[in-house]
Structures are given as structure tokens and as C-alpha cells.
């Protein structure tokens, strides 16, 4: 057996890529879990094909999973992979341009046959024509070794080949000193009712691990030490799971059962899947027949005294806007989660974008303002869901919570919070008549919120519906002055929330930076990573990030005017930048990216450096 050495690494970016049927998402997820157990900080970026059933071996069918893990705090899934595992020519063709120069390329050479090369657009075999000279290439016959490792297990050749992703996982687990028991226990649990598949996956995984250990191809393994972390219990969590758990936590803290109603839509469907697993927390889920029915049922649940929630993506938000307007008029709590994706129309359903900001703020007819909040990291989805519920219940208003495909699918370590320290949410239901002349459904409290009267409460009968209500009494009113008054009251209620949210915090190390980078949503990691690198090079730059997009924190204008230049990066064509310019008459500068991919720290490096040197 050849002698292997161990090389220390501070950080590594690995990308698994293959056909959509090759199990790359599962492979990446298992590698991520083993990495989390070791205590590395990590961030992931799954990349799904846009077509549901693209022909096998074609460029359209490539699926990838990237993980960045390190011995220090990190905030992005990495710009360029150091290691690319390509399971077929199409995966190589699609992902090679992202691999860093002289990066490690591990290919399943069994897949590089004429038919697959033709499908991927290669006229010659890149493993033989010298085109990969700028990389460290390792040709591994993954498929054939997997088939040999699973011989005698009662599987057909095709069934055995499906386990090649576990071979790749075993090889990378050896290469980066990942624990093997995490994976073997998962396989045993996952396939305990399919003993042949269980044995085949374990055999393939061990074959990959042993191949790395015994082959002369690889001279050494790599070690990435655990990252320092605050004391506590951690788990790896994806944004969609964190958001669902935040809603469950809001339910527990408010005592309101969750009613979640949605129509399946990528990439929001995982919320329905996750919430449906928590019936023990009195969560009720409904897969509705369409988007309009979904939000109608959720609003009906809110009227009945539950925490009504609905989730969707951009096309579904369009369809829900009329009922959101109804919720504005009814002044009832409602949470609308929008996991944004690339549009317009069907657009690119599996690709990320953040272009629904204006739709969230102004997408309804009439004057119908409502609060809008946005999550910034996968773990932050938990806190943002809690905040959306707090605002919705306290101010009796629908709230739109903006996430996106990148946040929903990506994962990172999350320190479990102290449950007792989570904010209290008091629904404060109306239980008795509130006026000498009877129950007045629009008699407002100090927050300008109206009473929430559960149907059937004795003496609290009142009208509902979309027609304009008379102030205080709730009677239907066509009076011009009343309509203007109610319009201004609803707007004032939303504006008043600014007194109840944190001030905008600025990360400005020295206090004398000339450039402020203002972000929102999932641009947080790229901005934070780039700001750190810029400071290490001796330049000064500040960073602020918005969670509350309506209303804005009350100190935002003062923050913006402190800096000579303000840069606003967005995954749209400049929606927040337009709003900042219009509101404050500031010459905010816009950097936009609408490619279906997240903004990278390298993108921000270029933009920040350009402004600091001009």
C-alpha cells in the first residue's frame, strides 16, 4: 500500500456534478452532513437542472452540488470550486469553466464514451486531446469498480451502476478525512427495507474509500480542522427547513395553530413538505387546487383565529395578489412566503433571482401597503419567519416574507436558539364588547391595529368582505372622506411598525469609510465576504443589510447620507436602488446580476474595488 501524507487546508470548495439521475444532490447532502459533524463551518449551493426530465447525458440534465467548508468562519458557498467531480462529459462541459486554474478534476472515465461525448457537444475526448492541461486530472473508472464491488448481490448491471455516486462519496470522504460512520448509518436507515440496495450502496461507498487509500493516483489526503464556534448545539440546516421551523416556533410562542395552504411550485414546495411533518405541533397543511384557493383558505384560517400561512414563488404571488388586497382591507394576520425564482412567467424555475421586491411592495390594486421582510442567510430564515409572524399578529396585517431559491436550497450550520428566549407573540383576541354601542370591529389600539374577533365569540358579530368599511363601526361605506381616512389609517399602521423594528446596523470597522454597500436578501454572504477581503487589503468599506423592506428602519436616511458613495447590489435590474433614489434623492449606485445564479464575492470584489479606486 503506498504511503500517504496529510496536507492541511484552511478551506476547500468541492462541486459534485453529474446527470440528474446520478444522485448528486444526495451525494452533496451526505458529504455536507459528515462535514458538519466534524465541526467545519460550511455553506452549500445546490444547482438543479431547469428541465424536469431532460434526456440523460445532455447539458440540460446536469445537476450539481457545491460545498465550501473551512476551519474558520465563512459566509458563501465559494466562487470557484477547487475540486470538481464530473460523473459524465455533460457535467464536465457545463462546470469546467468554473473550476479554478490548476484545480483538481476527478472524472468518471467510464462515462466518456462516444455517445455521451456527442450528447455533451465534444468532437474529441477531452481526457485524451490535451484540453485539460491546465488542471490536475484524475481518471477513475467509477462505474466499473462499482459494478465489481456489488457483484453477487442480486442486482442487474443497471441497478448496480446507480450506486456510483456512493463510490464518489467514499472517495471524497477519504480524500478529505470525512467520518464514514455518519454515511453508513444513514444508508442503513434509509434502505433498511431494501437489503439488496443497502448492501450495494455500502459496498460502493467502501470501494470508493478503499480506492483512495490504496491507489497510487492520490499521494495524500487533506485535513480541514474544525472552525471555532460559540458554545451550543449546532445542526446543519437548509433555508426552507429553517423557515418552516420558524413558523412552527411562531405558532408555539403565540399559541396559534398553523394552517399552511399552498399549491406545489418550485422552489417553494419544500415548505409544504417540511410543515406536513409537524402535525405534533398542531400544524395543518393543505395542498390546494390552485394558488388562489391556497391563499383563500389561509386567509379563512386567519379569520377563524389561526395563523394563516401560504407559500409560493413569483408566478404564484401574481395570482395571490387580489386576496392579499382583501387581507389588507380585512386587516387580519396572514403570512405570504415568496421563495423567488428567475422570471418572468415560468422563467427558469430552478434558478435564483430576487426580482419580486416591487411586486411585494406595490403589486396590488389600490392603496394597499403591507410589511415586507427578507431573509439573508439559510439560518436567518428561522428568525425572519418569527419576525413576520410577530408583525402580522401584532399589527393585524398580511406580511410578505421574501426568500429565494438560493436561500431555500442552501444550508449552513445553525446554533439552536434558547426556546425560552424567543419573542412572545400575543394574539390578544377580542373577548368582549369594546364600545357603549356594541362591538366596533375597526376601533383601533395604540398600534392602530383593529380587534381580532374569532367567529362565534358571543356579542362580537361583525361584517367582513372587500368593500370599504366605515371607520370604527365596520359598516360598508361609500363616503369619500371615510375612504380617504381608512386609506391613510392603513398606511399609518404599516408606517408605525418602523418604531417597533431595530435600527439599521452598519458594519464600519473604522467609522470613516467612504463607500457603503447596502444589501438585502441573499446577497448578504457575498457582500460580507467581499468586504472582509477588501479590508484585509487595507481599504475601507462599510456594509449594511436590510431585513425590513417596508417599512424601512427609521434611521436609514441618516445612515445613507453618512457615506460619499452608496452601492446597492441586487439580483434584479435595480429595484431597491430605484426606491432609494426616489425616496431620498440620493445618487445610489446599482450593481445588478440576473443570470439565475447568486452574486459571488468575486463579483463584489470587482465592484467595490472599482469604486474605491475611481
Q: Can you give the CATH number for the domain in which 113 is found?
A: 3.40.920.10
> Which DSSP helix (H) or strand (E) runs through 382?
helix 380-395
Report the percent of the chain where pLDDT is more than 90.
Answer: 96
Mean pLDDT of the region 250-270: 97
For residue 268, the domain's CATH number is: 3.40.50.970
- For 561, other C-beta atoms within 10 Å of its C-beta total 12
Tell the residue number behind the cell numbers 421551523, with chain if given: 245
Q: Is residue 463, in this structure, part of any structural domain at all?
A: yes
DSSP codes joined into one string, 108-164: EGGG-SHHHHHHTT-SS-TTTSSTTTTSEEEEE-HHHHHHHHTTTSS--HHHHHTTH
Residue 529 grid cell: 465576504
68/78 Cα distance (integer angstroms): 6
DSSP codes joined into one string, 36-104: HHHT-EEEEEEE--SSTTPPTTSGGGEEEEEEEEESS---SS-SS-SEEEESSHHHHHHHGGGSPTT-E
Domain end: 443, 465, 500, which one?
A: 500
Same domain, 510 and 437: no
Same domain, 380 and 518: no
Band of pLDDT at residue 229, cut at 50, 70 and 90: very high
pLDDT in tens, 15-72: 999 999 899 999 999 999 999 999 999 999 999 988 777 899 999 999 999 999 999 9
- For 218, other C-beta atoms within 10 Å of its C-beta total 19
- The C-alpha angle with vertex 255 and arms to 252 and 259, in degrees rounded to 5, equals 80
State residue 220's pLDDT score.
Answer: 87
Strands 515-520 and 542-546: parallel
Task: Outline where 156-194 has alpha helix (H).
Answer: 157-161, 164-175, 181-190
**Is the pLDDT confidence value at 387 over 70?**
yes
State residue 381's pLDDT score.
Answer: 98
Q: Is residue 120, in this structure, part of any structural domain at all?
A: yes
Within a 13 Å sphere around the CA of 135, how many CA atoms are in the beta-carbon half?
24
- For 491, other C-beta atoms within 10 Å of its C-beta total 15
Same domain, 486 and 524: no
C-beta separation of 63 from 56 below 8 A: no
Band of pLDDT at residue 4, cut at 50, 70 and 90: confident
State residue 219's pLDDT score.
Answer: 87
State residue 52's pLDDT score.
Answer: 74
Q: Go through the chain and tell me how many residues it has.
A: 614
Same domain, 566 and 486: no
Residue (of 32, 46, 137) closest to 92 by Cα position: 137
Q: Is residue 135, in this structure, part of any structural domain at all?
A: yes
C-beta separation of 282 from 257 below 8 A: yes
State residue 465's pLDDT score.
Answer: 92
State residue 359's pLDDT score.
Answer: 98
Mean pLDDT of the region 263-278: 97
Domain end: 175, 197, 223, which one?
A: 223
C-beta separation of 364 from 334 below 8 A: no
Q: What does pLDDT average to over the chain?
A: 96
Q: How far is CA 109 from the centre of its chain?
A: 34
CA-only gyration radius of the chain, Å: 27
pLDDT in tens, 60-116: 999 999 999 999 999 999 999 999 999 999 999 999 999 999 999 999 999 999 999
Q: Which of 52-61, 448-457, 594-603 has the lowest mean pLDDT?
A: 52-61
574/591 Cα distance (integer angstroms): 7
Residue (of 230, 164, 551) closest to 416 by Cα position: 230
pLDDT in tens, 456-485: 999 999 988 999 999 999 999 999 999 999
Mean pLDDT of the region 408-435: 96
Residue 561 grid cell: 447620507
The SS3 call for residue 481 is helix
C-beta separation of 378 from 412 below 8 A: yes
For residue 576, the domain's CATH number is: 3.40.50.920
pLDDT in tens, 306-343: 999 999 999 999 999 999 999 999 999 999 999 999 99
List of residues 6+ apart from 5 with CB closer than 8 A = 219, 220, 221
Strands 104-108 and 83-86: parallel
List of residues 6+ apart from 280 with CB closer than 8 A = none
Q: Is residue 150, in this structure, part of any structural domain at all?
A: yes
Same domain, 248 and 368: yes
Q: Is residue 229, in this structure, part of any structural domain at all?
A: no
333/396 Cα distance (integer angstroms): 5
State residue 597's pLDDT score.
Answer: 95
Residue (of 208, 205, 200, 207) closest to 154 by Cα position: 200
Q: Is residue 556, in this structure, part of any structural domain at all?
A: yes
Q: Is residue 230, in this structure, part of any structural domain at all?
A: no
Same domain, 438 and 417: no
Going through 193-325 in order, the beta strands assigned E by DSSP cover 220-223, 234-238, 258-262, 284-287, 307-312
Count of domains forming the chain: 4
181/189 Cα distance (integer angstroms): 12
Angle subtended by helix axes 314-330 and 291-303, to nearest 10:
30
Q: Is residue 538, in this structure, part of any structural domain at all?
A: yes
Residue 517 grid cell: 454597500
Same domain, 31 and 47: yes
Same domain, 370 and 397: yes
447/425 Cα distance (integer angstroms): 15
For residue 253, the enclosing domain spans: 235-421
> Which DSSP helix (H) or strand (E) runs through 207?
helix 195-214
Same domain, 48 and 148: yes
Q: How far is CA 114 from the centre of its chain?
A: 39
DSSP, res 266: T
pLDDT in tens, 109-158: 999 999 999 999 999 999 999 999 999 999 999 999 999 999 989 899 99
Torsion over CA of 284, 497, 314 and 583, rounded to 10 degrees? Answer: 180
Same domain, 352 and 372: yes
Domain end: 190, 223, 256, which one?
A: 223
171/465 Cα distance (integer angstroms): 62
C-beta separation of 554 from 498 below 8 A: yes
Same domain, 42 and 175: yes
Going through 155-290 in order, the beta strands assigned E by DSSP cover 220-223, 234-238, 258-262, 284-287
Same domain, 514 and 388: no
469/463 Cα distance (integer angstroms): 9
State residue 1's pLDDT score.
Answer: 60
List of residues 6+ apart from 301 with CB closer than 8 A = 259, 261, 307, 308
List of residues 6+ apart from 583 with CB closer than 8 A = 557
Residue 98 grid cell: 468554473
C-beta separation of 376 from 354 below 8 A: no
DSSP, res 538: T
Angle subtended by helix axes 164-175 and 181-190, to nearest 10:
160
Residue 362 grid cell: 406595490
State residue 163's pLDDT score.
Answer: 96
437/434 Cα distance (integer angstroms): 9
Amino acid at each position: 500500500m503506498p504511503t500517504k501524507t496529510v496536507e492541511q487546508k484552511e478551506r476547500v470548495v468541492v462541486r459534485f456534478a453529474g446527470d440528474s439521475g446520478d444522485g448528486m444532490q444526495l451525494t452533496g447532502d451526505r458529504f455536507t452532513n459528515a462535514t458538519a459533524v466534524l465541526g467545519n463551518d460550511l455553506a452549500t449551493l445546490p444547482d438543479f437542472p431547469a428541465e424536469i426530465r431532460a434526456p440523460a447525458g445532455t447539458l440540460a440534465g446536469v445537476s450539481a452540488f457545491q460545498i465550501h467548508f473551512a476551519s474558520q468562519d465563512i459566509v458563501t458557498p465559494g466562487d470557484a470550486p477547487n475540486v470538481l467531480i464530473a460523473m459524465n462529459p455533460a457535467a464536465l462541459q457545463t462546470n469546467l469553466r468554473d473550476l479554478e486554474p490548476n484545480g483538481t478534476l476527478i472524472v468518471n472515465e467510464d462515462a466518456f464514451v462516444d455517445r455521451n461525448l456527442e450528447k455533451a457537444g465534444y468532437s474529441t475526448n477531452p481526457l485524451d486531446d490535451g484540453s485539460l492541461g491546465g488542471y490536475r486530472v484524475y481518471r477513475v473508472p467509477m462505474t466499473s469498480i462499482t459494478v465489481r464491488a456489488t457483484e453477487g448481490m442480486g442486482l442487474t448491471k443497471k441497478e448496480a451502476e446507480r450506486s456510483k455516486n456512493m463510490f464518489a462519496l467514499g472517495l471524497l470522504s477519504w480524500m478529505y478525512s470525512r467520518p464514514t460512520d455518519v454515511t453508513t448509518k444513514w444508508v442503513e436507515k434509509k434502505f433498511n427495507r431494501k437489503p439488496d440496495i443497502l448492501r450495494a450502496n455500502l459496498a460502493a461507498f467502501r470501494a470508493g474509500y478503499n480506492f483512495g487509500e490504496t491507489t497510487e493516483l492520490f499521494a495524500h489526503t487533506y485535513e480541514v480542522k474544525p472552525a471555532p464556534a460559540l458554545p451550543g448545539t449546532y445542526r446543519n440546516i437548509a433555508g426552507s427547513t429553517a423557515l418552516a421551523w420558524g413558523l412552527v416556533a411562531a405558532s408555539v410562542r403565540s399559541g396559534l395553530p398553523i394552517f399552511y395552504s399552498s399549491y406545489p411550485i418550485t422552489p417553494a414546495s419544500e415548505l409544504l413538505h417540511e410543515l406536513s411533518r409537524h402535525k405534533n405541533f398542531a400544524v395543518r397543511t393543505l395542498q390546494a387546487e390552485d394558488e388562489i384557493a391556497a391563499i383563500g383558505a389561509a386567509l379563512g384560517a386567519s379569520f377563524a383565529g389561526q395563523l394563516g400561512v401560504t407559500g409560493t414563488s413569483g408566478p404564484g404571488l401574481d395570482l395571490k395578489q387580489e386576496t392579499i388586497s382583501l387581507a389588507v382591507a380585512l386587516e387580519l394576520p396572514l403570512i405570504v412566503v415568496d421563495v423567488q425564482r428567475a422570471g418572468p412567467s415560468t422563467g427558469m424555475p430552478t434558478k435564483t433571482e430576487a426580482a419580486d421586491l416591487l411586486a411585494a411592495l406595490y403589486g396590488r390594486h389600490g392603496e394597499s401597503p403591507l410589511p415586507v421582510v427578507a431573509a439573508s442567510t439559510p439560518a436567518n430564515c428561522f428568525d425572519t419567519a418569527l419576525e413576520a409572524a410577530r408583525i402580522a399578529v401584532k399589527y393585524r396585517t398580511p406580511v410578505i416574507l421574501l426568500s429565494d431559491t438560493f436561500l431555500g436550497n442552501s444550508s449552513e450550520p445553525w446554533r439552536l436558539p434558547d426556546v425560552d428566549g424567543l419573542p412572545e407573540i400575543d394574539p390578544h383576541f377580542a373577548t368582549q364588547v369594546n364600545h357603549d354601542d356594541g362591538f366596533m370591529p375597526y376601533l383601533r389600539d395604540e398600534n392602530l391595529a383593529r380587534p381580532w374577533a374569532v367567529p362565534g365569540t358571543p356579542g362580537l358579530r361583525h361584517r367582513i368582505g372587500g368593500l370599504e368599511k366605515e371607520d370604527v363601526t365596520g359598516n360598508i361605506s361609500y363616503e369619500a372622506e371615510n375612504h380617504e381616512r381608512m386609506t391613510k389609517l392603513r398606511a399609518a399602521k404599516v408606517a408605525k411598525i418602523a418604531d417597533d423594528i431595530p435600527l439599521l446596523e452598519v458594519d464600519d470597522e473604522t467609522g470613516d469609510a467612504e463607500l457603503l454597500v447596502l444589501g438585502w436578501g441573499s446577497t448578504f454572504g457575498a457582500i460580507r465576504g467581499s468586504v472582509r477581503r477588501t479590508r484585509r487589503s487595507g481599504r475601507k468599506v462599510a456594509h449594511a443589510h436590510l431585513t425590513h423592506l417596508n417599512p424601512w428602519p427609521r434611521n436609514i436616511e441618516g445612515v445613507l447620507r453618512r457615506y460619499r458613495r452608496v452601492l446597492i447590489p441586487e439580483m434584479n435590474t435595480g429595484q431597491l436602488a430605484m426606491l432609494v433614489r426616489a425616496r431620498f434623492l440620493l445618487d445610489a449606485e446599482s450593481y445588478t446580476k440576473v443570470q439565475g445564479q447568486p452574486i459571488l464575492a468575486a463579483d463584489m470584489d470587482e465592484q467595490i474595488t472599482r469604486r474605491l479606486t475611481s
